[in-house]
């Protein structure tokens, strides 16, 4: 599948992976901005701005935006993370001109006062909705506790207070600083004509202007090491998050870290599954690897009945300590590889999966990697590579937060846990 790159005179990049055998196209505008780029005064502005992009432009009302996407049968949306805001659509190849037109247009939103005040209420309702989801609330608070004064601890949604106090002028200023051509790139994957894509992006985005954005504070984070219990009487179960340090997104160790997380905490057949889910002690347990610019983290979580929380926490911490001491088994390594490789291949079979893969790789590494490149990198991971990750990023270096009906939590020692099935 040929890969192409073009840079507009204003600094906006266009990249594309052309797959003539595909039956659709996925297109995305990637803006390198997110929660970590915000100050406390504008906390949540990146996500709020994502919403405002769909509220209308000088050429379209909010209704027009939705209708124009619907007319071409597109699957479209956007998302905001700690480091990126992405606007995307998947559609049939013949609708490439219309898709570029709409996506480029909404990246120059009107930010009208009336729309701003209405959407402010929507955002505040969304914050309340997520706060009513205990595991999400626990993760957001645990991330804040772990990162402390590091900008990755910033909340993506912001707070009710920060959103209430945010002004349209503050949002406009943030937009003018961050939504500039050198900080945006367009990515596409699927059955597309590359010269046509370049011409369309030139036509719609060539007049955009703006100065380059300063580099981020990309220092590593080791975690605060705090232990916090947040009591919420109306929550039925106890939700516990343990976070420890991990490799950054540009580290070759990220492949071994992903394999380790899969072996340790996949939702079926992992160490934690056999230790606490299969015996019925917890209804869920998971470990995932999160990589960012400059740093990374392993996030382990579980939820269980309050009366079991002390026991389950003790088991989970002991499992983490065992893996830290002994590593994982060869059978676990191979099983984790199979799962990761299967996930990677299945995702790459759709243009939308490739869009996300090549887009995120370009955003962080500014390089193109094929599916085969990634498969080889994961397949090459050895037990020695996993051991190297454990030695550099100890799983036992934990920041812990529990949210639920309990007012205190104390890890309780347990009998030997069940070993994973090879």
Output the DSSP codes for 84-143. Answer: -EEEEEEE-GGGHHHHHHHHHHHTSB---HHHHHHHHHHHHHHHHHHHTSHHHHHHHHHH
pLDDT given at position 281? 98
Helix orientation angle between 45-53 and 168-178, rounded to the nearest 10 degrees: 90
Give, in order, the Cα–Cα distances in Å from 15 to each of 29, 31, 79, 213, 354: 11, 14, 20, 20, 12
Distance (Å, whole) CA 272 – CA 266: 8
- Between CA 200 and CA 191 the distance in angstroms is 16
Sign of the Cα torsion 229, 234, 238, 240 reads negative
Q: In the chain, which stretches have pLDDT less than 50?
A: 415-422
CA quadruple 257, 259, 261, 266: dihedral, nearest 10: 160
Question: How many CB atoms lie under 10 A from the CB of residue 169?
Answer: 10
Of 122, 96, 287, the C-alpha closest to 188 is 96
Q: Is 50 annotated in the active site?
A: yes
Read off the pTM.
0.95
How far apart, in whole angstroms, are the C-alpha atoms of residue 272 and residue 240?
Answer: 14
Q: What is the mean pLDDT of the chain?
A: 96
**What is the model's pLDDT at position 213?**
94
- Neighbouring CB atoms inside 10 A of 252's CB total 10
CATH code: domain 227-404 is 3.30.830.10
Q: Which helix (H) or strand (E) holds 177?
A: helix 168-178
| CATH architecture designation of domain 3-205 | 2-Layer Sandwich (3.30)
Taking alpha carbons only, the member of 160, 217, 171, 210 closest to residue 46 is 171
Question: In this structure, what DSSP letter does residue 270 have?
Answer: S
Asked whether 208 and 180 are in contact (CB, 8 A), the reply is yes
Model pLDDT, residue 414: 56
Domain boundaries, the chain: 3-205, 227-404
Q: Is 406 in contact with 309 (CB distance < 8 Å)?
A: yes
Q: Which of 17, 38, 50, 82 is catalytic?
A: 50
Predicted confidence (pLDDT) per residue in 107-158, tens digit: 999 999 999 999 999 999 999 999 999 999 999 999 999 999 999 999 999 9
User: What pLDDT is stored for residue 365 in this prediction?
Assistant: 97
> Could you please report the per-residue DSSP string of 358-419?
HHHHHHHH-----HHHHHHHHHT--HHHHHHHHHHS-TTS-EEEEEES-S-------SPPPP
Count CB-CB contacts under 10 A for residue 134: 19
Please list the helix, strand and coil fractions of the chain in percent, rounded to the nearest 5, in that order: 45, 20, 35
User: Are 3-205 and 227-404 in the same CATH fold?
Assistant: yes
- pLDDT digits over 268-311, tens only? 899 999 999 999 999 999 999 999 999 999 999 999 999 999 99
Q: What is the pLDDT of residue 233?
A: 87
pLDDT of residue 416: 42
Overall size of the chain counted in residues: 422
pLDDT at 25: 98
């Amino acid at each position: 599948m040929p890969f192409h790159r073009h840079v507009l005179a204003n600094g906006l990049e266009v990249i594309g992976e052309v797959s003539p055998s595909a039956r659709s196209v996925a297109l995305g505008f990637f803006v390198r901005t997110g929660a970590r780029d915000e100050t406390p005064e504008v906390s949540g502005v990146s996500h709020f701005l994502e919403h405002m992009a769909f509220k209308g432009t000088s050429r379209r009302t909010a209704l027009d935006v939705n209708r124009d996407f619907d007319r071409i049968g597109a699957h479209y949306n956007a998302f905001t993370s700690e480091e990126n805001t992405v606007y995307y659509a998947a559609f049939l190849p013949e609708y490439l001109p219309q898709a570029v037109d709409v996506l480029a247009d909404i990246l120059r939103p009107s930010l009208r006062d009336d729309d701003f005040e209405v959407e402010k209420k929507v955002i505040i309702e969304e914050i309340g909705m997520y706060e009513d989801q205990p595991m999400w609330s626990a993760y957001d608070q645990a991330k804040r506790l772990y990162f402390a004064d590091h900008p990755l601890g910033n909340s993506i949604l912001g707070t009710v207070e920060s959103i209430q106090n945010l002004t349209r002028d503050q949002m406009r200023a943030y937009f003018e600083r961050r939504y500039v051509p050198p900080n945006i790139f367009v990515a596409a994957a699927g059955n597309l004509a590359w010269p046509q894509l370049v011409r369309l992006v030139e036509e719609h985005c060539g007049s955009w202007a703006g100065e380059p954005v300063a580099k981020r504070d990309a220092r590593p984070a080791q975690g605060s090491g705090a232990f916090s219990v947040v009591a919420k009487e109306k929550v039925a179960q106890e939700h516990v998050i343990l976070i420890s340090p991990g490799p950054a997104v540009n580290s070759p160790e990220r492949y071994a870290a992903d394999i380790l997380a899969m072996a340790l905490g996949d939702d079926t057949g992992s160490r934690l599954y056999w230790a606490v889910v299969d015996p019925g002690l917890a209804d869920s347990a998971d470990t995932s690897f999160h990589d960012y610019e400059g740093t990374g983290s392993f996030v382990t979580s579980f939820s269980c009945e309050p009366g079991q929380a002390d026991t389950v926490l003790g088991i989970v911490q002991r499992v983490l300590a065992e893996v830290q001491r002994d590593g994982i088994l060869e059978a676990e390594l191979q099983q984790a590889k199979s799962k990761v490789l299967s996930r990677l291949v299945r995702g790459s079979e759709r243009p939308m999966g490739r869009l996300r893969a090549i887009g995120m790789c370009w955003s962080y590494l500014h390089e193109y990697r094929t599916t085969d490149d990634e498969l080889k990198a994961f397949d090459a991971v050895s037990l020695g590579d996993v051991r190297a990750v454990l030695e550099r990023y100890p799983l036992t270096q934990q920041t812990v937060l529990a949210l639920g009906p309990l007012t205190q939590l104390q890890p309780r020692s347990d009998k030997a846990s069940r070993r994973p099935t090879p």
